[in-house]
Structure 1
Amino acid sequence: MKYLVTVIAVIASVFLIQGCSSSPSGSGKSTNPPTLDAVIDHSPSLPETNVEVNLDAGNSKDEQNIGYDIQWSLTNKPTNSSVTLSNTTQPKIKFIPDVAGDYEVKLEIENSSKGIIDDATTTISVISSESTIELEGDINTDSTLTDIFSEPSIPDYLVVGDVDVNAKLTVDPGVVIHFKENLGLKVASDGILSAVGTDSNRIIFTGESQSVNGFWKGINIYSNTVENAIKYAEISYGGSKSAGTYFEAANITIDQAKVQLANTKISNSGMFGIQTRRSGSEFPMENMEFSSNDDEHAYVHISQLGYFDSGSSFDGGYVEGFGGSTKADLDISVLNGAKYSILDNVGFDHLVTIDAGTQIEFVADAGFKVGNNGTIKAIGAANNKIIFTGTAKTPGAWRGIFIGSPSVDNILKHVEISYGGSINMATYFNKANMVIDRAKVELDNVEITGSAGYGIQTRRNGSTFTLTNSLFDNNQNSDMRIHPTQVDFIDNLTNFNDGDVEVYGGDTEATGSETWSNLNNGTFYFSSSVSIEKEVSIEAGTLFEMGTDVKLLVSSGTDPGVIKAIGTSSNPIIFTGRSKVKGAWRGVLIASGSVDNEMDHVKIEYGGSSDLATYMPAGNLGVYNDAYLTISNTEIQNSANYGFMVRETRGATVAGTNITYLDNSNSDFYDY
């Protein structure tokens, strides 16, 4: 509608036309084109919620009185506001703001016949007519904290004294709680905290000052009810001081308690993001965010590592696990942006599954033991390995992995184990990255490097393991130290990088057959004498180095041992001393009467340290009593005594062709 200014303009125009013959310019028209200038006035100047705000367009400018139409609109308003404008074509209108925040109002004025329009926009900041509520003391009856202010920068509640929750406390979505310095919220053993926000309306627990990590004490939970929940929330700037004896400072401390955590950001703690003091707490987590905590993001019992999910995110740093052992089956998820740090020697006494990509670092002398009732399943991928290593990247930075479990489900696949061997793993064990003690484990595509002792060690027979497609490097002792019953567990694809597999004394198993592989870039080192009690086939190219006075015996008996050492001209099997001097080791004694004993394209050297048996003198190779051997294309050299000895008078039989001798100190061949 046109207003009075338009009517006056029309009357004046008629009067000028009838009463004047000409305008000063001689044209009868104004020299300046008409303009409009929209102006918004509002009152009061500092409006509050639930109080009328007046809008007035009366001071808009129409200097040539052409008249105009009016249109008001609300172009922006605070979240959760339901305000709308009415009578939007009137010069003066009103509205009542329902929530605090900024309201953006637009005014358009227009003379459509002349095609002239102008607009103005103003932002009206509304403060709440409510006031922040102060909290302190005990909450002994069921209570609810409601969202007073929609603006998250305005706290709904200010904690001015420590608050102890002894009943059910419900915190509504959108509630903002600020804490004064060194104050906190305690959920006592008979209390319940239910703080469940929404994705668009989060609950905030923070310090009154948000520029100092560790400004307030934090949330301390001692309640063991499954009703405790913190979801779609933010907890920040806590951890000013310890929650109690045996606790450090943290945003959240959980002591023998239960709480569900989801979609919550935990940041800017003065020390830990989350801390527990012992086992017995349960806090399943989902899609959490950890950032800017002064110490580590979490400090929890080893049994609680399974509560961290792969959907949570971290800005680097660690989740620390301290001592003890598992209390139930455990799935350790890969951390998005962080690693696990193990602080003690801990026990896996249940099924522990470790997800691909998980990185676990150990501090000095820390490690883990898979106990008799435990099982480990650590299955990585070629491009997403599981890593066990020291915090320091030096040999002996941590203790290592002890496997004492007979479970057939133990498996480590696409796993790296490095820098272990800080101290002896146990009585009768040495330093090692991994110990296997009367246990079963499958090792596939495993990298074992940088040990301050052995790569892998066993102490006795009774362990069963398979080793395939793996890699050893830079272990200060032998890559492996194993029992003779375990030699056949090693494949010929594992790369030993010029290292060796130490075989300590004892017998092979007594029945069946097995193959000793040609180690890939590796050597078998026999540190003690070994007896072959079953059929053993040795692959072409296999290299054996023997320690001082060590003997390899192919035993006799009703079910005698058998050796089948079949090399090739380009890839002979070699038995030699660890030191390359005459008499470096004792030699090979064939005491088995099996007609299957055979050596072809074999080299035997540097033996003869002492007699091979009663009535069998020192030498590189002896065939004893009723024994049998087919031998061909073999070199026997550098013995400290005889080269080759055969006790024919006691029934020893040899079928030999193309045997060559070199530089044996006594006779090359002794037949007696």
Structure 2
Amino acid sequence: MLPFSRLSLLAVVIALSACGGGSSGGGAPSAVQPGESSGAPEPGQPAGGESGSHASGAMDSKIDGVSFDSASFDFSEQTGIARVTVNRSGDISQPATIQFTTSDHTALAGEDYASETGSLTWAAGDGESKTIDIQLIINAQSEPVEQLSVELTDISGAQYGDFSSALVNVIDYQAECQPWSSYYVESPLTVSAGCYKVDKTIVVRRGGELALEAGARLEFADNEMMEIESDGLLIAAGTAQNPVVFTGQRAENGYWTGLFIRSLAESALEHVIVEYAGFGFDDSNISVSFAGAARFKSVLSRFSEGYGIRISEDAQISEFVSNRLTRNQSYPVAVGSNNAYVLDRTSIYTGNRTLDGQGRDAIALLDRSIRKDQEWEDVGVHYQTSTLGLELYSRLHILGGTTVVFRADTSFRIENTGELIVGSSAGPLVVFTGLEQIQGYWRGVEVYSGRENIIDNTVIEYAGSDAGYFEAAVGVNSHDGKLKLRNSLIQHSEGDGFSVGAQSSVEISNLTSTFNNRPGRVSVREVNSLSSNSDFSGNTVDRIFVTGNSLDRNNDQTFKAINVPYRIDKTTVNGPISLQSSVVIEAGVVIEFGLNAGFNIDVDGSLKAVGTPEKPILFTAAQKVRGGWNGFQYTFSGDPDNQIDHAIFEYGGESQGNTHALLGYFGSDVRGSVTNTIFRESLTNGLILSGMVTEAGNTFEGIQLQAIVDNR
């Protein structure tokens, strides 16, 4: 790497040249002639030569590394943005990062340009060029060439190339504005390049068509606006070098009201700058409301007192590509949730902040209902809900890398007709989080839909408010809810990480539920939904709570070996759970029971609990006292799968319970076997035998009444 002291101070020149003036005369004619070219260099061209040539004094030899594309560039102030290219060459095998900053010379930040600081990052093997965008400001004063600098600093993973520090020349733009006279446009009107002073609101309506050609600049008076009403049409067709500009007569945020599109006829804006509006009405530079139709390409919306652009839930947006919404005092975009899909990642939404410096880089969702099938992608900033949360009535696919931020006490409801697909196993994470990092800040995801809902590779955090229906970060409704929850992280829930209702259809796999009050709650009818490859540790109470008073017929369940105990107590059941289907309990499982709790294996049910010497199955009390829970009771169950082996029963035999033992078999037809099992610390009996039950190899410790009551 070259020592920084040996690097020359090299220049990037940004020339802001005057565009041609408009035609003379009063008002905007029906066919205004374009102004003549100013003869300024094409934006992005190096100063003093062809594209790619170096300025005077540039080094002839090329040094591999990170460098500006050239020593100097020219840009017209009219373009609104100076885009400076930074290249990386040579060894690109390592990741690289470099900081950049702008600073004043004779050009002043806030008057001639907007200061920029930031970083550029390359992954290993990435040799693509990056760009730094500098916002250029046109002011009313006639000025000579002014200068600012751009500097690359704090490089890591690479060395500096030829041009690491830059000087910027700012060439003034001045054009004499003529008054605008056509304030009600009700027939075709074409306006070519030139500056126009707009002192009243312009209304385009009743079949009127307003076509603004490249280089047209409209300067609006205080509180005035442009409205595209009924079947009016606006076509603003600028170019990169000569955009169409909508601005205020004074460079103040919110000086004029903005551009409002309400017409069903599709307006088109391409290479357009809208600035210094956002006062009143929809608080935005640009608003597409009701069923207004529009398309936007390469639009720069900046210096709004409110939003950069506002799109209602019923607006018809056919294209939204390569736009930049920055330097606004509120969010770059406010959009109806039903229309959030129109936004894309080719647009830039960063650099927005309030006057006190509070960041506003987010997509503000205006309402809660999503009724169109759509995709949300990572657009570089997060989506932020309104105070109403979200309700999904259609199919929504949220792609990897997307973050959705929820406001206080809101929820994401997947309604009966909704279908939510979140993330993928191979992609980057999706994040659902709260606006503030407080446990229970928002309610969580609530699934009422029986469609193919999938949450994959997702972080869900700071939810589980006790004001929510489920009191969990993710809740699946009884009877109709359906969800596959996999490869995900649930954390910082005020209640449970997840809640699975009875007769829902849920698959949980490779889930980490941690830093919650409890990892999860599941109906006894849906215990199958859990997987052994999940991690439920690290919570205030590391227990999976089992709910429900009965397991119906034809609903076989397995208690899988997970890394925390199951708990069944009076907070989740009203007494022993009636099992009318087959239940299997895997080796190593621990189940804790509360007072009055236990299992009653009915005539149509069975229970098989087979452990190993290394991994016995433990049935114990939540409170480690004799009689802390009821016990197991096989009642007339003749199923040959009734088998208990290498298990431990302890702290049960509640005196008020039906079993009066840790384990009891009742009825002449009952079948089963109990072997190699430990019975200890019973308030009543240890084991009661009836029917055709066999026992062998069992041990008894601390039994207050009889170790074995044999009624066979």
TM range (shorter): 0.7 to 0.9
Residue identity over aligned pairs, in percent, reads: 24
Question: CA shift at 1:339, angstroms?
Answer: 3.7
CA distance in 2, matches of 1:666, 1:580: 18
Question: CA shift at 1:509, angstroms?
Answer: 4.3
Q: Deviations over 1:153-199 (max 9, x none)?
A: xxx22222111112111111232222222221111123111112233
3-state SS of paired residue (1:479): strand
Are the equivalent residues in 2 in contact too, given 1:661–1:668 (CA < 8 A)?
A: yes
Superposed, which structure 2 residues align to 1:558-577 within 5 Å?
Answer: 560-577=604-621
CA distance in 2, matches of 1:515, 1:412: 23
Instruction: Report the counterpart of residue 523 of structure 2 in structure 1.
Output: 483
Amino acid at match of 1:540: A
Instruction: Report the counterpart of residue 280 of structure 2 in structure 1.
Output: 242
Instruction: Report the counterpart of residue 180 of structure 1 in structure 2.
Output: 221
2:298 matched to 1:263?
A: yes
Superposed, which structure 2 residues align to 1:373-384 within 5 Å?
Answer: 373-381=417-425, 384=428
2:637 matched to 1:603?
A: no
Gaps of 5+ in 1: 1-45, 51-75, 82-99, 105-124, 149-155
Superposed, which structure 2 residues align to 1:363-374 within 5 Å?
Answer: 363-374=407-418
Query: Relative contact order, CA 8 A, sep 6+: which one is greater?
Result: 2
2:307 matched to 1:345?
A: no
Q: CA 1:639–1:344 in 2, change beyond 3 Å: closer, same or farther? A: same
Superposed, which structure 2 residues align to 1:157-176 within 5 Å?
Answer: 157-166=196-205, 167-176=208-217
Instruction: Report the counterpart of residue 321 of structure 2 in structure 1.
Output: 286
3-state SS of paired residue (1:158): strand
Question: CA shift at 1:512, angstroms?
Answer: 6.4
3-state SS of paired residue (2:688): strand
2:624 matched to 1:580?
A: yes
Instruction: Report the counterpart of residue 102 of structure 2 in structure 1.
Output: none
3-state SS of paired residue (1:304): helix
Q: CA 1:566–1:213 in 2, change beyond 3 Å: closer, same or farther? A: same
CA distance in 2, matches of 1:448, 1:555: 37
Amino acid at match of 1:441: L
Q: Deviations over 1:586-617 (max 9, x none)?
A: 1111222112211111011111224554xxx4
CA distance in 2, matches of 1:228, 1:192: 5
Aligned CA RMSD, in angstroms, stands at: 2.9
2:264 matched to 1:224?
A: yes
Instruction: Report the counterpart of residue 535 of structure 2 in structure 1.
Output: 495
Instruction: Report the counterpart of residue 334 of structure 1 in structure 2.
Output: 378
Instruction: Report the counterpart of residue 543 of structure 1 in structure 2.
Output: 590
3-state SS of paired residue (1:495): coil
3-state SS of paired residue (2:527): helix
Instruction: Report the counterpart of residue 319 of structure 1 in structure 2.
Output: 363
Are the equivalent residues in 2 in contact too, given 1:214–1:269 (CA < 8 A)?
A: yes
Instruction: Report the counterpart of residue 417 of structure 1 in structure 2.
Output: 460
3-state SS of paired residue (1:487): helix
Are the equivalent residues in 2 in contact too, given 1:400–1:434 (CA < 8 A)?
A: yes
Q: CA 1:287–1:49 in 2, change beyond 3 Å: closer, same or farther? A: closer
Instruction: Report the counterpart of residue 430 of structure 2 in structure 1.
Output: 386
Q: Deviations over 1:536-589 (max 9, x none)?
A: 222111110112211212221xxx322221111121111111111111111111
Are the equivalent residues in 1 in contact too, given 2:409–2:467 (CA < 8 A)?
A: no
Aligned residue pairs: how many?
533
CA distance in 2, matches of 1:535, 1:391: 45
CA distance in 2, matches of 1:367, 1:322: 15
Question: CA shift at 1:344, angstroms?
Answer: 1.1
CA distance in 2, matches of 1:494, 1:128: 66
Superposed, which structure 2 residues align to 1:112-127 within 5 Å?
Answer: none
Pick the aligned partner of 1:361 from 393, 400, 405: 405
CA distance in 2, matches of 1:320, 1:485: 40
Amino acid at match of 1:242: G
3-state SS of paired residue (1:314): coil
Q: Deviations over 1:476-497 (max 9, x none)?
A: 2x32222111001110011001
CA distance in 1, matches of 2:213, 2:318: 21
Superposed, which structure 2 residues align to 1:519-534 within 5 Å?
Answer: 519-526=562-569, 527-528=572-573, 529-534=576-581
Amino acid at match of 2:210: L
Question: CA shift at 1:272, angstroms?
Answer: 1.3
Are the equivalent residues in 2 in contact too, given 1:49–1:127 (CA < 8 A)?
A: no
Amino acid at match of 2:462: Y
Pick the aligned partner of 1:138 from 184, 190, 194: 184
Gaps of 5+ in 2: 1-17, 23-37, 44-77, 79-141, 146-170, 351-359
CA distance in 2, matches of 1:126, 1:298: 31
Q: When the two structures are superposed, what TM-score results if normalisation uses the length of structure 1?
A: 0.74
CA distance in 2, matches of 1:233, 1:127: 17
Moved more, 395-404 or 508-517: 508-517
Instruction: Report the counterpart of residue 206 of structure 1 in structure 2.
Output: 247
Instruction: Report the counterpart of residue 232 of structure 2 in structure 1.
Output: 191
Are the equivalent residues in 1 in contact too, given 2:382–2:405 (CA < 8 A)?
A: no
CA distance in 2, matches of 1:130, 1:542: 83
Instruction: Report the counterpart of residue 449 of structure 2 in structure 1.
Output: 405
3-state SS of paired residue (1:223): coil
Instruction: Report the counterpart of residue 272 of structure 1 in structure 2.
Output: 307
Instruction: Report the counterpart of residue 698 of structure 2 in structure 1.
Output: 659
CA distance in 2, matches of 1:635, 1:473: 33
CA distance in 2, matches of 1:126, 1:448: 55
Are the equivalent residues in 1 in contact too, given 2:288–2:315 (CA < 8 A)?
A: no
Superposed, which structure 2 residues align to 1:39-58 within 5 Å?
Answer: none
Are the equivalent residues in 1 in contact too, given 2:393–2:419 (CA < 8 A)?
A: yes
Amino acid at match of 2:334: Y
Q: Deviations over 1:493-549 (max 9, x none)?
A: 110015222111233342264432111245344532323322222211111011221
Q: Deviations over 1:231-256 (max 9, x none)?
A: 221212211x212xxx4x11112221
Q: CA 1:280–1:624 in 2, change beyond 3 Å: closer, same or farther? A: farther
Q: When the two structures are superposed, what TM-score results if normalisation uses the length of structure 2?
A: 0.70
Q: CA 1:605–1:382 in 2, change beyond 3 Å: closer, same or farther? A: farther
Q: Deviations over 1:395-441 (max 9, x none)?
A: 1111211111111x21110011111123443xxx4422122112111
